[in-house]
Amino acid sequence: MDYRPINLSQKFERFDDRWSPRVVAEMNDVQFKIAKIEGEFIWHAHEDTDEVFIVVAGRMVIEFRDGCVELGPGEMFVVPRGVEHRPIAESECRIMLVEPRGVVNTGAAGGDYTAPNDVWV
């Protein structure tokens, strides 16, 4: 057993890609992923699961068709399953996502922003 903590700052320094989540840990069938985001993502939904956004550094907005939520460092929000949303960050924002293994970052929307799954850092 390896009894060392996961240092998120060090993990973030190991990649530069935007909108491409990296797995840092798993618990049962749930993955903890980190991502650097900047600009506007696409409108999408996850029909089978909720999605947790935790802001580690920076600021972001999650838009919904009927409103939005703004998040800063140390804040989190749970997007309920099936709710269409679009994350936006004016400048680099570092986030953690918590979701079941195998969730595609763009949901069924697909497209150029679809990132490979299960990429560990």
CATH of the domain at 42: 2.60.120.10
Domain range for 44:
17-100
Neighbours of 96 (CB within 10 A): 19
Label each residue of 18-81 as H, E or C: ECCCEEEEEECCEEEEEEEEEEECCCECCCCCCEEEEEEECCEEEEECCEEEEECCCCEEEECC
Tell whether 11 is covered by a domain: no
Tell whether 65 is covered by a domain: yes
Mean pLDDT of 66-74: 98
Is the pLDDT at 113 greater than 90? The verdict is: yes
Q: What one-letter code names the amino acid at 120?
A: W
Tell whether 107 is covered by a domain: no
Is the pLDDT at 118 greater than 90? The verdict is: yes
Mean pLDDT of 53-80: 98
Tell whether 45 is covered by a domain: yes
What local confidence, expressed as pLDDT, does residue 40 receive? 97
CB 71 within 8 Å of CB 79: no
Tens-place pLDDT, residues 76-97: 999 999 999 999 999 999 999 9
Tell whether 46 is covered by a domain: yes
Tell whether 119 is covered by a domain: no
Tell whether 116 is covered by a domain: no
Report the number of distinct structural domains present in the chain: 1
Tell whether 96 is covered by a domain: yes
